[in-house]
């Protein structure tokens, strides 16, 4: 087994899995057990695993060695045989010891929630940056599990001559290799982060506003992105269908051009390794002029999902943690209205109309998407003022810029004494456009 072989391929596509949702007595959860189990099954299906059996396992007290009690472990072993499962997925964190002991008892591959999400990210990452981030997260996760995965390496390398001594164990050498590789990856990612900062700065100087789509995974962000932009980004009924940020130019009423950004979906209990590794990707959100929070309003857990998304935005500094106020304008997009019954749809439509920061729509059918476009346009042009400007006719650069990026209300030519022919213009510009005009 090579150094890289053990990092990837934890899960085999088409493997038949037993999916378990531990429900620890006395422990509070954002989602109830049935919803957590359904999400775990969705994660498994997203990586191409076949569901053999899914069940909630109530745990009175956590066993340090196996998580589950001895009797429960035997029941799980029987279930694996009954449903012909060769993989066990535990929707929760497992220590390396628990994972190793469960594999020994069940005689099957065991993977926890963190490992499963890492597998999905490893398969879906398409850009060089995404692959770097995934590899860093994999290494961070694996370095504590060498005892479990690499027991065949528990031997010592001999020294050389009389000065060699007992040598270092192979595991210690491999841990050192992992640390060195992680150091190189962090340097590469830091360079990527600097490059992205330069790109954001360049976009900041550009005249086009940026709109970022955020939301819980599988809320319909990519479908809405495709609907607004006419692009063909992967949009499937899968968790984490989108990993790498995608940007497209779109036109809105009164806004000739805006940049629409599709981002990675949020999820509860995201592995800490990925929170750190994907921070550069999520930082795109902090540079947006408007954030569109896409919510699957048909999902019974949409309120809990909303809390998770807002918590991540607070971590990014977008939302003030003290008073919950957003530093960037946010419009809530209540998506998947086509899945609602008529009574619920009418009730939510009335609630949305009563607020100026909510739009009810269906990205799949297109109903309500025009309302969202109007709302975004209003938010992007809020604070716009009319400026009376007089420019020399020879200043074609500024005149063309105003026509391209502002709303020209009137213009006329005149002869200014001592200054030659000029063009007088009344132009409506928002604060960002006015700042950009002054820098021309």
Tell me: is residue 79 an annotated ligand-binding position: no
With tokens 């939301």, the residue in question is 215
Tell me: is residue 19 an annotated ligand-binding position: no
Among 280, 278, 217, 288, which residue's Cα sits nearest to residue 258?
288
Tell me: is residue 265 an annotated ligand-binding position: yes
Instruction: Please state the φ and ψ torsions of residue 222, each to the nearest 5 degrees.
Output: -70, -35
Tell me: is residue 338 an annotated ligand-binding position: yes
Tell me: is residue 216 an annotated ligand-binding position: yes
Tell me: is residue 159 an annotated ligand-binding position: no
Tell me: is residue 220 an annotated ligand-binding position: yes
Tell me: is residue 95 an annotated ligand-binding position: no
Tell me: is residue 197 an annotated ligand-binding position: no
Tell me: is residue 242 an annotated ligand-binding position: yes
Q: At what angle do helices 113-124 and 33-46 cross, to 10 degrees?
A: 40
Instruction: Please state the φ and ψ torsions of residue 171, each to the nearest 5 degrees.
Output: -65, -45
Tell me: is residue 40 an annotated ligand-binding position: no
Tell me: is residue 336 an annotated ligand-binding position: yes
Tell me: is residue 351 an annotated ligand-binding position: no
Tell me: is residue 263 an annotated ligand-binding position: yes
Tell me: is residue 335 an annotated ligand-binding position: yes
Tell me: is residue 215 an annotated ligand-binding position: yes
Tell me: is residue 194 an annotated ligand-binding position: no
Q: Which residues are annotated as a binding site for GTP?
A: 215-222, 240-244, 262-265, 335-338
Q: Which residues are annotated as a binding site?
A: 215-222, 240-244, 262-265, 335-338
Q: Which residues are annotated as a binding site for Mg(2+)?
A: 222, 242
């Amino acid at each position: 087994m090579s150094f890289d072989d053990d990092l990837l391929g934890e899960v085999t596509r088409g493997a038949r899995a037993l999916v378990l949702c531990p429900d620890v007595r006395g422990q509070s959860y954002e989602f109830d057990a049935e919803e957590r189990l359904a999400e775990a099954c969705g994660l498994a299906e997203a990586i191409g695993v076949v569901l053999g059996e899914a069940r909630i396992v109530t745990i009175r007290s956590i066993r340090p060695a196996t998580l589950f009690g001895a009797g429960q472990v035997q029941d799980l072993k029987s279930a694996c045989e009954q449903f012909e499962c060769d993989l066990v997925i535990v929707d929760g964190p497992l220590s390396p010891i628990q994972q190793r002991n469960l594999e020994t008892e069940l005689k099957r591959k065991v993977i926890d929630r963190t490992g499963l999400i890492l597998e999905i990210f490893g398969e879906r990452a398409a850009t060089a940056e995404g692959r770097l981030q995934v590899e860093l997260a994999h290494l961070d996760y694996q370095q504590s599990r060498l005892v479990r995965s690499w027991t065949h390496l528990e031997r010592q390398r001999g020294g050389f001559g009389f000065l060699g001594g007992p040598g270092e164990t192979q595991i210690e050498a491999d841990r050192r290799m992992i640390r060195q590789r992680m150091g190189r990856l962090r340097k590469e990612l830091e360079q990527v982060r600097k490059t992205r900062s330069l790109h954001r700065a360049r976009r900041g100087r550009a005249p086009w506003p940026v709109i970022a789509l955020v939301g819980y995974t599988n809320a319909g962000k990519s479908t809405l992105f495709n609907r607004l932009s006419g692009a063909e980004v992967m949009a499937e009924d899968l968790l984490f269908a989108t990993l790498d940020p995608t940007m497209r130019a779109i036109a809105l009423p009164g806004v000739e051009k805006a940049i629409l950004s599709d981002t990675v979906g949020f999820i509860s209990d995201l592995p800490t390794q990925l929170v750190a590794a994907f921070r550069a990707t999520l930082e795109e959100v902090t540079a947006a002029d408007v954030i569109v929070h896409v919510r699957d309003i048909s999902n019974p857990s949409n309120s809990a999902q909303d809390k998770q998304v807002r918590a991540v935005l607070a971590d990014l500094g977008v939302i003030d943690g003290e008073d919950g106020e957003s530093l960037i304008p946010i419009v809530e997009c209540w998506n998947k209205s086509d899945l609602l019954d008529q009574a619920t749809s009418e009730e939510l439509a009335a609630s949305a109309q009563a607020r100026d920061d909510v739009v009810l729509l269906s990205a799949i059918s297109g109903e309500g998407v025009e309302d969202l476009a109007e709302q975004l346009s209003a938010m992007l042009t809020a604070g716009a003022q009319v400026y009376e400007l007089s420019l020399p006719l020879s200043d074609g650069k500024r005149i063309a810029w105003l026509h391209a990026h502002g709303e020209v209300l009137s213009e006329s030519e005149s002869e200014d004494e001592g200054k030659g022919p000029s063009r007088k213009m009344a132009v409506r510009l928002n604060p960002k456009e006015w700042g950009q005009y002054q820098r021309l």
